């Protein structure tokens, strides 16, 4: 998989450039530029879009599937949900009413979601502040400063979880975070002992997907695949997790494809709400990649919480200096 760094203009979208006098297809193509800024597993951006005059279809791009780390494709579908949420927020901002049909796409040719657009929505009366921060959102992989997030802030963030059947749970006590940390350390130990897992991680690093210069990315590919001890990864993950005062876990009644897409929508709303509040956020996914650690995470949550589909850590930290690269619009259109 190739991820070619794009110029900063991928993130520098000017709403004034919206082609109001263009064709319906022109306008929807413009909205997709916001969808492309969504987070995705390892910044793989595993999506393609098909556009007609009044419809956008979201498809998987299986050439970008992380087959070892995301064997069940859970993270791919969550990533599509993040892109979908950006698309819907942007559509509302530019005066569209939308209706999303969640389909059964499982390959490149079958859509996962089809969104229908109708002009005539209300604009200018109550702007959605989340739209303004789509171009500012970042994933913060660093160590947070440990400052507690007030309960009222967590309650407001929980308002992002409005999808039917989904629940958002918080782990904020020291004992709960320490237990989760032990699960993450166990997952790291098992996953990083797998040469195929390390090779896959090294390959994505080598593409420059995380925004590092070519030389550093190339060296990182070799180091991760062949040299770097697992303990170095685990130490970094331990410091990052334990510096995070709050851990969120999005749960669903079952791990269905539609549920995973909706989890992605909630995750992106949380990202944008956190950005508005000056908070940092990073998904914590390795704990779901082993049966034993996934079951351990379930045991940390209240009874009848459903299936945990997306843990993440939350806290205060200086934002990363740069954005990660994005695919071009032409590259993602079918």
Residue 304 lies in a domain: no
Which tokens hold the place of 55? 């419809």
Give the 3-state secondary structure of residue 26: helix
- Max distance between CA atoms of the chain, in angstroms, equals 58
Give the 3-state secondary structure of residue 288: helix
82-94 tens-digit pLDDT? 999 999 999 999 9
Give residue 272's pLDDT band: very low, low, confident or very high (50, 70, 90).
very high
In this model, does residue 206 exceed pLDDT 90?
no
Chain centroid to CA 153: 21
Q: Which DSSP letter does residue 159 get? A: T
pLDDT at site 127: 77
Residue 224 lies in a domain: no
Residue 87 lies in a domain: yes
pLDDT at site 5: 47
Average pLDDT, the chain: 91
pLDDT at site 173: 97
Q: Using the structure block, give the residue that is written with the tokens 């494709």.
A: 73
Give residue 303's pLDDT band: very low, low, confident or very high (50, 70, 90).
confident
Range of the domain at 93: 8-133
141-154 tens-digit pLDDT? 999 999 999 999 99
Buried b (16+ CB within 10 A) or exposed e, 16-28: eebeeeeeeeebb
Residue 51 lies in a domain: yes
**Could you please report the per-residue DSSP string of 219-258?**
HHHHIIIIIS-HHHHHHHHHHHHHT-SEEEEEEESS--HH
pLDDT at site 232: 80
Whole-model pTM over 0.85: yes
Give the DSSP H/E element, type plus range, for residue 48.
strand 47-51
Of residues 247 and 210, more confidently modeled: 247
Residue 33 lies in a domain: yes
What burial class does residue 284 get, using C-beta atoms within 10 Å of its C-beta: 0-12 exposed, 13-18 middle, 19+ buried?
Answer: buried
Cα separation of 70 and 189, whole Å? Answer: 17
Give residue 6's pLDDT band: very low, low, confident or very high (50, 70, 90).
very low
Number of domains in the chain: 1
Residue 166 lies in a domain: no
321-331 tens-digit pLDDT? 889 999 999 99
19-63 tens-digit pLDDT? 999 999 999 999 999 999 999 999 999 999 999 889 999 999 999
Tell me the CATH number at 68: 3.40.109.10
Residue 291 lies in a domain: no
Residue 95 lies in a domain: yes
pLDDT at site 229: 73
Question: First-to-last CA distance in the chain?
Answer: 17
94-134 tens-digit pLDDT? 999 999 999 977 777 899 999 999 987 555 556 789 999 99
Which tokens hold the place of 195? 């040469």
């Amino acid at each position: 998989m190739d991820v070619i760094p794009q110029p900063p203009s991928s993130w520098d979208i000017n709403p004034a450039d919206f082609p109001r006098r263009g064709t319906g297809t022109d306008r929807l193509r413009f909205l997709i530029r916001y969808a492309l800024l969504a987070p995705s597993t390892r910044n793989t951006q595993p999506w393609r879009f098909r556009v007609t005059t009044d419809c956008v279809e979201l498809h998987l791009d299986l050439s970008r599937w992380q087959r070892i780390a995301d064997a069940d494709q859970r993270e791919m579908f969550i990533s599509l949900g993040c892109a979908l949420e950006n698309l819907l927020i942007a559509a509302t901002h530019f005066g569209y009413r939308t209706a999303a049909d969640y389909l059964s796409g499982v390959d490149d040719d079958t859509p996962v979601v089809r969104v229908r657009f109708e002009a005539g929505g209300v604009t200018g009366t109550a702007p959605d502040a989340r739209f303004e921060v789509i171009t500012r959102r970042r994933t913060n992989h660093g160590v947070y400063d440990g400052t507690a997030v007030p309960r009222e802030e967590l309650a407001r963030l929980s308002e992002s979880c409005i999808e039917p059947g989904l629940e958002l749970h918080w782990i904020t006590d020291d004992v709960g975070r320490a237990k989760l940390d032990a699960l993450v350390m166990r997952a790291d130990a098992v996953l990083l002992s797998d040469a195929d897992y390390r090779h896959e991680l090294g390959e994505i690093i080598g593409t420059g997907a995380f925004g590092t210069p070519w030389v550093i990315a190339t060296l990182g590919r070799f180091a991760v695949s062949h040299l770097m001890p697992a303990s170095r990864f685990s130490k970094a993950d331990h410091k990052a997790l334990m510096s995070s005062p709050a851990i969120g876990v999005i749960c669903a009644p079952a791990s269905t494809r539609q549920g995973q897409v909706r989890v992605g929508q909630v995750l992106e709303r949380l990202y944008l709400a956190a950005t508005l509040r000056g908070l940092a956020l990073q998904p914590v996914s390795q704990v779901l990649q082993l049966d034993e650690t996934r079951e351990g995470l379930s045991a940390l949550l209240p009874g009848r919480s459903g299936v945990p589909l997306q843990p993440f850590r939350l806290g205060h930290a200086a934002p990363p200096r740069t954005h990660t690269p994005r695919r071009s619009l032409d590259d993602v259109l079918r």
